[in-house]
């Protein structure tokens, strides 16, 4: 219908009508909702709670500063086509779920090395230990990686065949990476003027490392985030991040698995008890052909004992039998491994209390609110997984 | 008093005081003309010296001694004409319907001033059922009728024409038709065969739509199979008016809801600032759609009966497996609306007309389009972030100068037109911003969809290659979580990553043409014109955009075309019309391809012109000694069209999901040619209110470029431009125009067949008969029935408040070949029995309107309510089948082959991103091989869902329209 009236009158009327109509459909229905994946069950309140199920080792749990997730070291799966195992740090929510890589470019399928014992720093950054496996576990030159058989003169000499490592501590924060000097553990030495071209000494930490799969070098942050204490298997060392220097803590021989107390006063650690040494020779052969001889000295491990020492090496104090101690946030108690389970005990006085549901547990780590403890546990498949339970 | 002219006594419509008819061959002009005679009301003697004036436009002419006159260059639409002569009472008609390219024939009877006559009721029948003087097979839909149809796009109205199905005109392939907008020939010469015209008009902008399927005049160049002619509306110089309407299905029941909202309308009127007689008209259409292509079964999954008995058994086994806990584990996600099909349409059109002096009119138009949508793909349906999408932006501007010279018995009309256009299309992975952060109102946003790396893909290819990185944002598709099948969906569903393709094209052209015609008051006409068009075409494609080493194909060339024609039309005695035309046309590929990084097909030299000459002849008139209401027409035309320019750069382009026609390139880059004959008879019945027409035609298609189905055992995988085929058919239509009822029923039967040959075969030898085998062309739809029925107000019955329009169609299926798996070491068996057909499809659409009178608060406004129903019977029309088994469902072998994955290297633990609790049936936190395999079959079944194999969904849209 035509009209000569001003257009704006008609337009205004139209706008009004249209607006009303639009309001009428204001309950506009949404677009089709895309499928939302429900890949896994949500939070379960059941404790102890298993967080990882991998058929490969997951070890060394550590709490995030917020306490809502746990970092751990997980071996790659499916295994990459590498000659040695690889592992990378991951982060999983304390309620379970997907474990995401904790470091960029370190994926589950391609960790790019063996990175273990992730520990978040007090002021940011993630501390990890990068282990480099030596391909010649028996130190037989020229036959690196090939299977060989050792025939030894003394019983017990051949029971230890560690994959000796070198270690590098790394602190990664974004694109910034700081590394410690290279730490060697091999105990290897060249024998001069001897029919045995090579000699090797097996200290207690070797046996501990091999037989119990212990992460004996475990680094631990000082509360101020300036230093890191760790072990090279024979002693405790402190890496000063500012200077880059690594210094030994006096009086910590055979000290492993250190843990710096939250108040900074103490370092708890495991003292490996040496037994009497055994000395003898071993003849290595490959498919029946002798390849080399070694002179071996083995110090067997007779036990583990928890001790305290101040960072400067003073005030050493023997606590009790146990291993792999972890501090509670108030720096008054330790959670530790003894007799194949976890215990909690005040460092001053008091009886140990077992932590329920931690049979087979290793590597305890206490949550920032002291309510939970994370740990690794041997599963039926013979590998470790990460668990969490309540700390009484 | 107006009367019909005597020379149309046989076919003139029921005329009372004022009547019109159309008398001239078709033309592509954007103006019409009025041919008439002024007589004394009583004596019927001719009146010389009467002044005939076209009100509002200044066209004036004086009758000759025989009382005859002609007015040329009349703008189409309802026009007012006044006839005056000293001593007589002036006569005026305000709603004389003028149609572009046509003559409106009138007889005006003047009454002496001294004579007192009773007033005469002016009943106007403005659309004739048959047009004996027009030597073409065509159908016209007036804009006002078009707007009564329950359609979403103008193109859907074209489908209602007998002989047109699914964009194919009389058995030709898509793209063998041309479009004419206000006289300017438009064709998406780059990729018409895959993308159509590329431009779309708001329905409200149309004055009329005409579809020509046979007997195209010499003016129409690249129309191998048909012409679609749009005539747009101009502003009314008499005052402002317009309409706005809103339709939506958001208020419809869930079963009829697909997420459609459309706001459209237009306004026009005089613009005094631009001079006397200047007018402007603007139209706009905004559409938002949750599902741009709603399918009748929605996002469905395989059901029993979709395949063979073996598949049914497999479905039952899967249901019994317990996986997923439901009865149909392979149907984990089946909303009725298909997700990732969201889209928008923005169409705008502005037209400006301004008289230039007494004899000329300048017209400028601007059309802009933006169509953007997601493209649902089954493999990405579980991807929460990335989807494939396409955006088309078009801008077309035209300027036309029409000059008229009037004499009493003849008129000269010269039109000069310039047009410039740009058509941009981008296909690729959508930037998630598009749906996460883009501002929208009612799902419609003003901003464009964004695509990943769009800017990067427009850099010079050398820079892209030198960058050595993937197209920014593109990620290798894959993912093993996010689907209902967890890791078992790996390789079947891309739940992560992006679609791989990044593709764009830009077509620009500049068109210039001059056309002149001389018309006489007795209906003779001679016309001629020349036109030239230069293109600039750029294309880009990277089919592995996530791969930094992928080399994109970027081509750039400058084709050109020219056309010239001359055509004479003689209106002989007894209404015989003879039309003879001649046309020449040429094209060149145009220039080098400097940026091409990979091989492309470039056959002809870039600067070589390929030229074609073609005669066209048409005769129409009454059957001699017939019953006085029977007319015939006979047409012969030689037609050619340049190949789609995409053949310059593509060697193989998939046509569609359904037919899998492979366009094999055009190594010669030559014209596609054809010759067509048609003979038609039309007959009027019962006071000329009913008409029946029968048309028989035969069309030869040469240099097919593409066409046949690839028949197993025949070397059809490579076509040559020597291939040829034929289409022959019969079309019948029945029309009725009664008070309050308009109806049209059409039936078309056709046979389209062609040879299948290989690159090493001489098809010319085949033409002679030796070894020649013909198969149905891929677009050979044998039977099609169309119905359009208008009742009440929709049929022009203004006293009725209700209007009803029903349109329906029933079509037999396109052919489909069978591709059984080939046995190793054995040649496929040749058999024409391998060709089958898709099932028939049926659809009925309905519009009901109710006039609500004056709009409260706006006395000059009227409003009405409307309801559109699409696919009234909610029929599941099957439009696609699997080629190898000819069913909706796959064979079990196919399912199992797809289900074979890479397997598990080791169990998947719960903390893995690949873990899915659904697969972990025993809840041990690990997915083992057995659990993985159990989910793989339902995942494969889901991947093979037939969602896109169905026609349109049942939909209900409610709306309101206000006119003022």
Q: What is the ipTM of this complex?
A: 0.84
Which residues 6-25 on chain A approach chain B with CB closer than 8 angstroms?
A: 7, 9-11, 13-14, 16-18, 21-22, 24-25
Which residues 423-442 on chain B approach chain A with CB closer than 8 angstroms?
A: 442
Q: How far apart are CA A104 and CA A32, in angstroms?
A: 35
Is the CB of A35 less than 8 angstroms away from the CB of B484?
yes
Q: Report whether B891 contacts B885 (CB < 8 A).
A: yes
Mutate to test the interface with B, among A31, A36, A75 (most CBs of B within 10 A): A31
The two three-digit tokens of residue A360, written as one number:
């087979």
Q: Report whether B876 contacts B851 (CB < 8 A).
A: no
pLDDT at residue A2 is higher than 50: no
Q: How far apart are CA A382 and CA A56, in angstroms?
A: 9
pLDDT at B352: 96
Is B860 an 8 Å CB contact of chain A? yes
Query: Does an H or E element contain B309, and which?
Result: helix B309-321
Q: How confident is the model at residue A336 (pLDDT cuts 50, 70, 90)?
A: very high
Partners of residue B962 in chain A, C-beta under 8 Å: 13-14, 17
Mode of pairing for the β-strands spanning B2-3 and B103-112: antiparallel
Question: Tokens 């058999």 identify what position?
Answer: B831
Give pLDDT tens digits for B710-763.
Answer: 545 544 444 455 677 889 999 999 999 888 999 999 999 998 887 765 545 555
Q: Which of B288, B291, B388, B390 is nearest to B345 (CA)?
A: B288
pLDDT at A26: 52
Give pLDDT tens digits for A89-115.
Answer: 999 999 988 899 998 888 877 778 888
pLDDT at B855: 83
Q: Which residues have C-beta within 8 Å of that of residue B200, sequence separation ≥ 6?
A: B153, B154, B155, B345, B347, B369, B371
Q: How far apart are CA B37 and CA B59, in angstroms?
A: 16
Is the CB of A14 less than 8 angstroms away from the CB of B338?
no
The two three-digit tokens of residue B147, written as one number:
């707007």
A2, A32, A92 ranked by CB distance to B236: nearest: A2
Mutate to test the interface with B, among A17, A44, A46, A59 (most CBs of B within 10 A): A17
Q: State CA B926 to chain mean position distance.
A: 55
**Residue A159, SS3 per DSSP:** helix
pLDDT at A35: 85
The two three-digit tokens of residue B824, written as one number:
């190793």
Q: Which of B329, B168, B183 is nearest to B707 (CA)?
A: B168
Is A1 an 8 Å CB contact of chain B? yes
Mutate to test the interface with B, among A16, A33, A53, A69 (most CBs of B within 10 A): A53
Give pLDDT tens digits for A259-274.
Answer: 999 999 999 999 999 9
pLDDT at B171: 78
Asked, as a colleague might, if the bond just before A33 is cis with ω within 30 of 0, I would say no
Q: How far apart are CA B199 and CA B228, in angstroms?
A: 13
Instruction: Give bridge partners of residue A70 from the DSSP assignment.
Output: A63, A92
More confident residue, A8 or B399: B399
Q: Report whether B28 contacts B219 (CB < 8 A).
A: yes
Give pLDDT tens digits for B672-686.
Answer: 888 889 998 888 876
B482, B483, B917 ranked by CB distance to A41: nearest: B917
Is the CB of A40 less than 8 angstroms away from the CB of B238?
no
Q: How far is B372 from chain A (nearest CA, A)?
A: 16
Which residues 72-91 on chain A approach chain B with CB closer than 8 angstroms?
A: 74, 77-79, 90
Q: How far apart are CA A356 and CA A372, in angstroms?
A: 12
- Count of CB atoms within 10 A of residue B113's CB? 12
Q: Report whether B226 contacts B639 (CB < 8 A).
A: no
Using a 10 angstrom Cβ sphere, with 0-12 exposed, 13-18 middle and 19 or more buried, the burial of residue B872 is middle
Q: How far apart are CA B659 and CA B168, in angstroms?
A: 14
Partners of residue A87 in chain B, C-beta under 8 Å: none
Q: How far apart are CA A308 and CA A305, in angstroms?
A: 10
Which whole-number Å values give the CA distances from B117 to B113, B123, B836, in the listed order?
A: 10, 17, 70
Q: How far apart are CA A114 and CA A86, in angstroms?
A: 5
Q: How far is B348 from chain A (nearest CA, A)?
A: 18
Q: Using 70 as the pLDDT threshold, list the residues of chain B that sit under it.
A: 1-30, 114-135, 572-575, 591-607, 624-628, 647-669, 686-688, 704-722, 756-773, 817-834
Query: Does an H or E element contain B195, and which?
Result: helix B192-195
pLDDT at residue A80 is higher than 70: no
pLDDT at B608: 75
Q: Report whether A76 contacts A88 (CB < 8 A).
A: yes
Q: What is the 3-state secondary structure (H, E, C) of B110-148?
A: EEECCCCCCCCCCCCCCCCCCCCCCCCEEEEEEHHHHCC
Which whole-number Å values give the CA distances from B800 to B311, B406, B793, B805, B853, in the listed order?
A: 55, 42, 5, 14, 11
Mode of pairing for the β-strands spanning A198-202 and A289-298: parallel
Q: Quick one: closest CA in B to A1, which residue? A: B964
Is A67 an 8 Å CB contact of chain B? no
Alpha helices in B923-963 (DSSP H): 929-943
pLDDT at A27: 58
Q: How confident is the model at residue A316 (pLDDT cuts 50, 70, 90)?
A: very high
Is A38 an 8 Å CB contact of chain B? yes
Q: Quick one: closest CA in B to A51, which residue? A: B911
């Amino acid at each position: 219908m035509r009209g000569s009236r001003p257009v704006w009158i008609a337009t205004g009327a139209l706008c009004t009508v249209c607006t009303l109509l639009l309001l009428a459909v204001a309950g506009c229905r949404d677009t089709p909702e895309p499928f939302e994946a429900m890949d896994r069950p949500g939070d379960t309140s059941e404790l102890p709670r298993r967080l990882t199920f991998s058929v490969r080792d997951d070890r060394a749990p550590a709490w995030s500063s917020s306490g809502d997730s746990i970092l751990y070291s997980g071996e790659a799966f499916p295994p990459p086509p590498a000659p040695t195992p690889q592992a990378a740090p991951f982060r999983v929510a304390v309620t379970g779920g997907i474990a995401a890589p904790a470091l960029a470019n370190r994926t589950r399928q391609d960790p790019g090395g063996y990175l273990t014992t992730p520990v978040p720093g007090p002021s940011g950054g993630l501390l990890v230990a990068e282990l480099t496996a030596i391909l010649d576990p028996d130190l037989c030159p020229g036959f690196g990686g090939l299977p060989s058989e050792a025939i030894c003169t003394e019983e017990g000499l051949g029971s230890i065949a560690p994959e000796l490592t070198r270690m590098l501590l790394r602190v990664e924060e974004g694109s910034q990476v700081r590394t410690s000097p290279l730490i060697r553990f091999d105990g290897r030495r060249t024998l001069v003027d001897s029919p045995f071209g090579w000699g090797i000494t097996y200290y207690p930490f070797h046996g501990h490392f091999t037989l119990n799969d212990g992460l004996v070098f475990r680094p631990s942050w000082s509360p101020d985030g300036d230093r890191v204490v760790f072990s090279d298997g024979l002693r405790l060392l402190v890496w000063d991040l500012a200077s880059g220097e690594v210094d030994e803590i006096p009086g910590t021989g055979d000290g492993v698995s250190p843990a710096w107390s939250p108040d900074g006063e103490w370092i708890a650690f495991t003292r490996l008890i040496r037994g009497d040494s055994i000395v003898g020779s071993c003849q290595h052969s490959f498919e029946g052909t002798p390849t080399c001889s070694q002179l071996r000295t083995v110090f067997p491990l007779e036990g583990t004992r928890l001790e305290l020492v101040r960072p400067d090496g003073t005030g050493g104090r023997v606590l009790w039998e146990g291993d792999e101690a972890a501090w509670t946030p108030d720096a008054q108690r330790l959670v530790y491994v003894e007799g194949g389970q976890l215990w909690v005990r005040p460092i001053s006085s008091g009886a140990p209390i077992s932590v329920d549901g931690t049979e087979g547990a290793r590597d305890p780590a206490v949550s920032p609110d002291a309510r939970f403890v994370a740990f690794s546990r041997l599963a039926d498949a013979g590998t470790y997984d990460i668990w969490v339970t309540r700390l009484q | 008093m107006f009367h019909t002219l005597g020379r149309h006594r046989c076919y003139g419509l029921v005329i009372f005081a004022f009547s019109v008819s159309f008398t001239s061959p078709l033309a592509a002009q954007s103006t019409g003309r009025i041919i008439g005679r002024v007589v004394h009301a009583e004596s019927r003697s001719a009146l010389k010296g009467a002044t005939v004036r076209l009100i509002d436009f200044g066209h004036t002419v004086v009758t000759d001694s025989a009382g005859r006159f002609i007015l040329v260059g009349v703008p189409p639409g309802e026009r007012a004409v006044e006839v005056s002569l000293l001593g007589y009472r002036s006569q005026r008609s305000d709603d004389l319907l003028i149609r572009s390219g046509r003559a409106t024939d009138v007889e005006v009877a003047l009454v002496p001033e001294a004579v007192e006559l009773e007033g005469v009721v002016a009943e106007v029948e403005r659309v004739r059922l048959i047009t004996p003087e027009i030597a073409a097979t065509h159908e016209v839909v007036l804009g006002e009728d078009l707007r009564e149809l329950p359609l979403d796009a103008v193109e859907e109205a074209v489908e209602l024409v007998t002989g047109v199905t699914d964009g194919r005109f009389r058995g030709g392939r898509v793209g063998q038709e041309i479009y004419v907008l206000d006289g300017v020939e438009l064709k998406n010469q780059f990729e018409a065969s895959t993308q159509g015209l590329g431009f779309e008009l708001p329905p409200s902008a149309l004055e009329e739509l005409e579809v020509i399927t046979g007997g195209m005049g010499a003016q129409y160049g690249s129309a191998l199979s048909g012409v679609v002619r749009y005539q747009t509306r101009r502003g009314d110089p008499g005052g402002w008016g317009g309409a706005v309407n809103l339709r939506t299905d958001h208020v419809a029941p869930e079963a009829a809801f697909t997420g459609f909202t459309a706001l459209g309308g237009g306004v026009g009127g005089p613009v005094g600032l631009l001079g006397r007689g200047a007018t402007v008209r603007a139209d706009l259409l905004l559409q938002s759609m949750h599902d741009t292509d709603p399918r009748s079964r929605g996002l469905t999954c395989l059901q029993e009966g979709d395949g063979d008995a073996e598949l049914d058994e497999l479905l039952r086994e899967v249901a019994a497996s317990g996986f997923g806990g439901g009865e149909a584990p392979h149907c984990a996600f089946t909303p009725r609306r298909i997700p990732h099909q969201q889209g928008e349409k923005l169409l705008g059109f502005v037209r400006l007309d301004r008289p230039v002096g007494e004899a000329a009119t300048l017209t400028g138009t601007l059309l802009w389009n933006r169509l953007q949508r997601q493209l649902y793909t089954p493999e990405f349906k579980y991807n929460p972030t990335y989807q494939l999408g396409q955006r088309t932006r078009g801008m077309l501007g035209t300027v036309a100068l029409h000059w008229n010279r009037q004499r009493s018995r003849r008129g000269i009309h010269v039109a000069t037109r310039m047009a410039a256009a740009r058509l941009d299309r981008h296909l690729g992975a959508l930037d998630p911003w598009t749906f996460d952060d883009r501002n929208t109102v009612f799902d419609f946003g003003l901003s464009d969809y964004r695509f990943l790396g769009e800017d990067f893909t427009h850099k010079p290819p050398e820079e892209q290659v030198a960058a050595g990185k993937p197209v920014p944002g593109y990620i290798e598709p894959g993912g093993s979580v996010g689907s209902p099948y967890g890791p078992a969906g790996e390789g079947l569903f891309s739940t992560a990553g992006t679609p791989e393709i990044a593709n764009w094209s830009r077509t620009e052209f500049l068109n210039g043409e001059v056309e002149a015609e001389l018309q006489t008051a007795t209906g003779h006409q001679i016309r001629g014109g020349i036109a030239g068009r230069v293109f600039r075409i750029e294309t880009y494609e990277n089919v592995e955009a996530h791969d930094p080493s992928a080399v994109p194909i970027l081509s750039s060339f400058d084709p050109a075309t020219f056309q010239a024609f001359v055509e004479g039309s003689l209106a002989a005695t007894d209404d015989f019309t003879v039309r003879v035309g001649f046309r020449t046309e040429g094209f060149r590929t145009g220039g080098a391809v400097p940026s091409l990084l990979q091989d492309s097909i470039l056959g002809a030299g870039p600067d070589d012109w390929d030229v074609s000459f073609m005669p066209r002849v048409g005769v129409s008139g009454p059957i001699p000694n017939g019953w006085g209401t029977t007319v015939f027409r006979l047409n012969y035309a030689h037609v050619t069209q340049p190949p789609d320019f995409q053949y310059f750069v593509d060697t193989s382009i998939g046509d569609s999901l359904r037919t899998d026609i492979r366009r094999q390139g055009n190594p010669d880059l030559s014209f596609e040619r054809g010759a067509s004959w048609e003979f038609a008879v039309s007959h009027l019945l019962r006071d000329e209110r009913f008409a029946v027409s029968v048309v028989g035609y035969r069309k030869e298609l040469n240099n097919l470029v593409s066409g046949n189905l690839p028949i197993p055992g025949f070397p059809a995988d490579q076509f040559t431009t020597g291939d040829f085929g034929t289409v022959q058919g019969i079309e019948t239509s029945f029309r009725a125009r009664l008070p309050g009822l308009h109806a049209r029923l059409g039936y078309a039967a056709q046979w389209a067949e062609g040879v299948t040959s290989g690159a090493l075969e001489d098809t010319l030898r085949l033409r002679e008969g030796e070894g020649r085998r013909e198969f149905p062309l891929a677009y050979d739809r044998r039977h099609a029935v169309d119905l359009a029925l208008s009742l009440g107000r929709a049929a022009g019955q203004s006293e009725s408040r209700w209007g009803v329009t029903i349109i329906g169609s029933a079509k037999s299926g396109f052919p489909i070949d069978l591709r059984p798996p080939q046995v190793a070491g054995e040649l496929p068996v040749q058999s024409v029995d391998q060709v089958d057909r898709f099932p028939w499809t049926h659809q009925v659409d309905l519009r009901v309107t109710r006039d609500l009178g004056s709009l409260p608060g706006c006395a000059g406004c009227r409003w009405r309510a409307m309801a559109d129903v699409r696919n009234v019977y909610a029929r599941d029309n099957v439009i696609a089948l699997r080629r190898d088994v000819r069913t909706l469902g796959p064979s079990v072998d196919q399912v199992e082959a797809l289900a074979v994955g890479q397997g598990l290297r080791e169990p998947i633990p719960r903390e893995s991103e690949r873990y899915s609790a659904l697969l972990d049936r025993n809840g041990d936190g690990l997915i083992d091989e057995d659990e993985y395999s159990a989910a793989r079959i339902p995942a494969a079944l889901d991947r093979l869902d037939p969602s896109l194999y169905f026609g349109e969904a049942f939909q209900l849209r409610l709306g309101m329209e206000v006119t003022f």
